Structure 1
Amino acid sequence: MAETGASPDPVPSPDAALSPVARAEHFVWLTARVLEQRRFAYHFRQGGAGSADAEGDRAADAVEAALSAYATDDGGYGYALEPDLRGPVSQPLHAGHALRVLDSIRRCGGQRVERVCRYLTSVSTPDGALPAIHPSQRGYPSAPFVPIVDDPPSELLATGPVVGLLHRNEVWHAWLFRATDFCWAAVESLEKSHPYEVQAAVAFLDGAPDRPRAQAAADRLGRLVREQRLAALDPSGLDAWPVAAGYAPGEHHFPHDFAKAPESLARAWFTDDEMERSLDFLEGDQRADGGWPVRWRQWAPGTALEARPMVTIEALRTLRAYGRSIG
């Protein structure tokens, strides 16, 4: 312990000679919430990438236990599970985050998901979809770029990833019928978009049961992404690529942000060379402290600290999905 009033010593960085996953583990233990610590162990340590054995089951149980701390009485999730929304109230974006965690540990089903679907039904808009922010967030801190309104519209950003994920896990619930119709209409009518909305569309299409229709919609969306230059195809010259309106300076998106795994429909949008450059950039973006950076707009110190371990875990998962060596 430092003496009272003494300046703290610099935080030690991991040995640069260590593997990417070992450096990331140092960062996670130094900075992450319990949930991300447990997720890191599940994906990269205990159970060997979530193996289907007793050790893998124990690691998944530990993730579920950590996630349960964010559960709310109405079947949703709150307590800043999604760091940009603070406070104890449930929000659709928190529920989507929880479902992604459950999906990643192969636990997206059963009563836990039934409860989430009942919550989603309770907060849906008149057309059966999800708002980005429910008005119950008012009075609690939240990012200034997610405005709170009394009668929020349906948003593909919130609805698409949830619907796609539930379909991919063969979850059937009455809420899905109208929400799926909304997603199809929203995706197939997109003309002018931005990267996060496109990512939400891809998350829907990758799980949509109608595969020929999803393929056709993805083909059109890929042309839109290239025409509107929404993906920075040459990370060595980022000044040549526009940043979407309202995004933070330098908040570019890359091919790997859209095609997070080779089996994604978005993979066909990019050439092999473009994808390799994107993955090279992602691999080289690991910082000296072992973590990956947050590129979206920062508005409070704690939110960036909580988000970086999440980004780090997803960076490692993407690199591994494409066969990159992470150690």
Structure 2
Amino acid sequence: MTRTARLTATRLDAAARFLWTSGRVIEQRRFAHLFGAEPDPEGVLAALDAHLSPDGGFAYGLEPDVRGPASQPITVPTALLALEEAGALDQARAGLVCDWLAEVAAPDGGVPVALPTLRPYPRPPFMPVPEEGAKPVGELLSTGQIVAPLLRQGIEHPWLTAATAFCRTAVENLGETHPYEAGAALRFLDAAPDSAWARDAAARLGRLVREQRIVLLDPERPEEARIAPGYAPGEHHLPHDYARTPDSLAREWFTEQELTRGLDHLAATQQPDGGWRIHWVLWSATTESEARPGVTLQALITLRAYDRASA
């Protein structure tokens, strides 16, 4: 049965006006590539090059909550996403990023969220920065998001082998968690080469997410979900925040009704200016304005993916 599309022409036009008015170059180029009349991968790459650091990492505000010229691991997922969308996440480009990641990784292959080099620059209060000289400690939050697109594209690198093993162990040992860590674990599982293991691990992760109430199953009943420590009031994750596409392993975590309520809520919360709001801690007006275009683009991608699946 075909249902009415959520990403209507009116909604897309409003989002386009927002992105052309308020978007950064990287989001405008991604939008033009993904939703324009003709794909434009070269435009995406040109915009991404402005954020490339000499060491092979990415900086200069590509991740809006991470400022300054020093490459940081948590910025890499945004760069890899753009490269993958542009069809340019190849062995040569990925190899340079992996070389840098290998330099900053812990011995077990995991990478931290941030490095001591971030300390001189503006950063949100919720992002801990290691002391100078501290040994790196890998985190699933950053490593899972980085490893996933590299695995999807069949990249080979010694660091990636170690990082994949790190993620597998971290997922198997995951207990008390929070939405962003669970989301990173899910991104890894969706791309993990051992699909049978990934399905079993994803089922366990889904039980954790529901048992710990770190998903809002009914937007009309926010009191039924738990907000993780350090999160902003109302910083909930809905089913589609985990299952960003219909083929995600997280799709099995939710009933059709639960997913439908969340997607309807996503469509309905487009703002009068055409964009979508951010829900995490607002620590800087500038980073809020720079983050909204990315949030808006992700909303469009999610809505289109589910519209296509139900067509």
TM tier relative to shorter chain: over 0.9
Q: Measure, in 2, the Cα distance between the counterparts of 1:245 and 1:307.
A: 22
Larger Rg: 1
Q: Measure, in 2, the Cα distance between the counterparts of 1:197 and 1:282.
A: 21
Report how far residue 239 of structure 1 moved: 2.5
Matching of residue 164 in structure 1 with residue 148 in structure 2: yes
Query: Paired residue for 2:27, among 22, 36, 43?
Result: 36
Report how far residue 105 of structure 1 moved: 2.0
Name stretches of at least 5 consecutive residues in structure 2 with no aligned partner: 1-7
Contact 1:75 1:116 in 2 (8 A): yes
Matching of residue 117 in structure 1 with residue 98 in structure 2: yes
Query: Paired residue for 1:93, among 38, 53, 74?
Result: 74
Structure 2 partner of 1:76: 57
Q: How high is the sequence identity, in percent, across the aligned residues? A: 49
Report how far residue 46 of structure 1 moved: 3.3
Matching of residue 185 in structure 1 with residue 169 in structure 2: yes
Structure 1 partner of 2:4: none
Report how far residue 111 of structure 1 moved: 1.6
- Mapping of 1:11-26 within 5 angstroms? 19-26=10-17
1:216-252 C-alpha deviation (Å, 9 max, x unpaired): 1001011111111111000111123221111001100
Structure 2 partner of 1:260: 244
Matching of residue 147 in structure 1 with residue 138 in structure 2: no
Deviates more, 1:96-105 or 1:304-313: 96-105
Structure 2 partner of 1:276: 260
- TM-score norm. by structure 2 comes to 0.94
1:10-34 C-alpha deviation (Å, 9 max, x unpaired): xxxxxxx961110001001111111
Contact 1:21 1:44 in 2 (8 A): no
- TM-score norm. by structure 1 comes to 0.89
Q: Which amino acid aligns with 1:166?
A: L
3-state SS, counterpart of residue 291 of structure 1: coil
3-state SS, counterpart of residue 232 of structure 1: coil
Structure 2 partner of 1:288: 272
Q: Measure, in 2, the Cα distance between the counterparts of 1:67 and 1:90.
A: 14
Q: Measure, in 1, the Cα distance between the counterparts of 2:77 and 2:98.
A: 11
Q: Measure, in 2, the Cα distance between the counterparts of 1:324 and 1:25.
A: 20
Structure 2 partner of 1:14: none
RMSD: 1.3
Name stretches of at least 5 consecutive residues in structure 1 with no aligned partner: 1-16, 48-55
Q: Measure, in 2, the Cα distance between the counterparts of 1:284 and 1:166.
A: 34
Q: Which amino acid aligns with 1:235?
A: P
Report how far residue 324 of structure 1 moved: 6.7
Q: Measure, in 2, the Cα distance between the counterparts of 1:128 and 1:185.
A: 11
Matching of residue 313 in structure 1 with residue 297 in structure 2: yes
Matching of residue 102 in structure 1 with residue 93 in structure 2: no
